[in-house]
Amino acid sequence: MPILIKGARVIDPGNLDGKRDILIKDGIIDAIFDPIGQSGQSGQSGQSDVHVVDASGMIAVPGLIDIHVHLREPGHEYKETIESGLKAAAKGGFTAVCSMPNTNPVNDNGQVTSFIINKGKSAGGAKVYPVGAISQGSQGTSLAEIHDMQQAGIKAVTDDGLPVESSQLMRRALEYCKALSIPIFVHAEDKSLANGGSMNEGPHATFWGIKGIPNAVESIMVVRDIALAELTKGYVHFCHISTSESIEAIRQAKKRGINVSCETAPHYFTLTDEAVKDYDTNFKMNPPLRSGKDRKAVIQGLIDGTIDLIASDHAPHSVDEKDVEFERAAFGIVGLETSLPLSLKLVQDGYLSLTDLVVKMSKHPARMLGIDNDIKPGNPADLTLIDPDIRYEIDPAKFISKGRNTPFGGRQVRGEAFLTMVDGKIVYEKEKLR
């Protein structure tokens, strides 16, 4: 049955901003019309064989896309499955996610890529765009079967979780991926300098007696890969940027016309290392929460466009992996079901406009993956309806994700996904769930 989304404010940056009705037929956006316009098409809203979604007070945006998600399947299904992850994504307002390749086996060949894509199709949540490994087994020694994976459907490559330590291998990867027009997502970390640290190096790490990770761990690799992008004319996208030094380096690289982009995650503009208290491992992630100065630099980077997009780095872990001493606990937190409200806070605090936020959570990710997600007739109906005003407390017990590892439990927030639609199918609707 056709679906009519009625009365939402539609924000599609660069395309449209205003109250519209959207008619969806056979998975496709069929028509967009002015609800108070003259007769003509608007007469369709009177049809009785249409499922009407009352979206007054809601904001309709092109489906949100999270390009940095650990779905954990194959191999670590006890942490998350493709199905639980994609359903959690839909609840978080995402119509698509990119899955990181650090599964078991690693997604370094077309067979694993096809497995993820096929499982994703029947999951009944967001779409999945797998990201393949740069190197075989993400071991950093020889290139993975990148062309084979591209044939199977990967949208990018990364060895996320691990850096590509060899500059020579990174150079080869950049040259190869340039020929294939595939972006490389860089996990920027100098492992030797990180030296087994668990939180940001500084007075808080000293106070708690936890081994620190200096900012240079990230920026050394950022600077190296900017140099390699310049050398090869290849394209580098930096994942989860957390430090002022990295942001400044990327800012300067962009000014010089080097082909780089970057993302940050909500925890880096929401929290600092001051929040790491009482050895609570829900505050342990890689890169670590940084200083107040870095947090400000992240927000400034979002404002001035140095930081192109927001991704959650959703990293579910089991209780057993987190309920241990801080230094032994796994790095990472879940993010799919908290990313939107935490990012909306940037709008509520006046740092970004709603339009800017939609660019960073939908348009830029889409462009990077080569997807046209404009809200226009003929395009697939991948849409997110946002309830911007609802206030509530984040409750990890209500997460659809198998992971409960979040530092945001009990936090008061405003705004959440009201409805998520993928190819014209409602994959999440708040009213229906509760």
Q: Which stretch binds Zn ion (CB under 5 A): 48-56, 58-66, 160-168, 328-336?
A: 160-168
Helix H or strand E encompassing 380: none
Sign of CA dihedral 357, 361, 363, 364: positive
Q: Give ∠ CA 241-330-205 in degrees, rounded to 5.
A: 65
C-alpha torsion 153→92→362→291, nearest 10: -110
Q: How far is the CB of 332 from Zn ion (least distance, A)?
A: 9
Q: Of 297 and 311, which has the nearer Cβ to Zn ion?
A: 311
Q: Is 326 within 8 Å of 252 (Cβ atoms)?
A: no
Contact window for Zn ion (CB under 5 A) among 186-194, 196-204, 217-225, 329-337: 186-194
Q: Are 143 and 135 in contact (CB under 8 A)?
A: yes
Under rule CB under 5 A, residue 295 binds Zn ion = no
Stretch that binds Zn ion, among 10-18, 181-189, 253-261, 377-385 (CB under 5 A): 181-189
């937190």: which residue's tokens? 333
Q: How far is the CB of 158 from Zn ion (least distance, A)?
A: 8
Q: Closer to Zn ion by CB, 239 or 262: give it.
A: 239
Which residues between 24 and 63 bind Zn ion (CB under 5 A)?
none
Q: Can residue 160 be called a binding residue for Zn ion (CB under 5 A)?
A: yes
DSSP state at residue 100: P
Q: Does 190 bind Zn ion (CB under 5 A)?
A: no
Using the rule CB under 5 A, give the single segment among 25-33, 179-187, 242-250, 337-345 that binds Zn ion.
179-187
If DSSP codes are grouped into helix, strand and coil, which group holds residue 347?
helix
Q: Which among 273, 308, 313, 382 is annotated as catalytic?
A: 313
Interactions with Zn ion, residue window 239-268 (CB under 5 A): 239
CB of 150 or CB of 286, closer to Zn ion: 286
* Tokens found for residue 78: 């006890």
**Closest to Zn ion by CB, 331 or 351:** 331
Task: Provide the b/e sequence for 244-268 (b: ≥16 CB within 10 Å).
Answer: bbbbbbbbebbeeebbbbbbbbbbb
Rounded to the nearest whole angstrom, what is the least distance from the CB of residue 161 to Zn ion in the complex?
6
Give me the residue whose beta carbon is nearest to Zn ion: 187
Q: Does 364 bind Zn ion (CB under 5 A)?
A: no
DSSP-assigned beta bridge partners for residue 29? 24
Residues 6+ apart with CB under 8 A from 370: 155
8-state DSSP, 15:
T
314 binds Zn ion (CB under 5 A): no
Residue 30 vs 308, nearer CB to Zn ion:
308
Instruction: Name the minimum Å distance from CB 16 to Zn ion.
Output: 35
Cα distance between residue 24 and residue 8, in whole Å: 14
- DSSP for 210-264 reads --EE-THHHHHHHHHHHHHHHHHT--EEE-S---HHHHHHHHHHHHTT--EEEEE
Is 83 or 160 the residue whose CB approaches Zn ion more closely?
160
Q: Does residue 313 have an active-site annotation?
A: yes
Q: Interacting stretch for Zn ion, rule CB under 5 A, among 50-58, 110-118, 210-218, 236-244?
A: 236-244
Report d(CA 102, CA 76) in Å as an integer.
Answer: 10
* Contact flag: residue 187 with Zn ion (CB under 5 A): yes
Give kind and range of the element (H or E) at residue 83: helix 82-91
Among all chains, which residue has been given the structure tokens 């606990």?
Answer: 329
Instruction: Give the nearest distance from C-beta 331 to Zn ion in angstroms.
Output: 9
Kindly tell me which of 263 and 337 has the beta carbon lying closer to Zn ion.
Answer: 263
Q: Which residues bind Zn ion (CB under 5 A)?
A: 160, 187, 239
Q: Which residues participate in catalysis according to the annotation?
A: 313
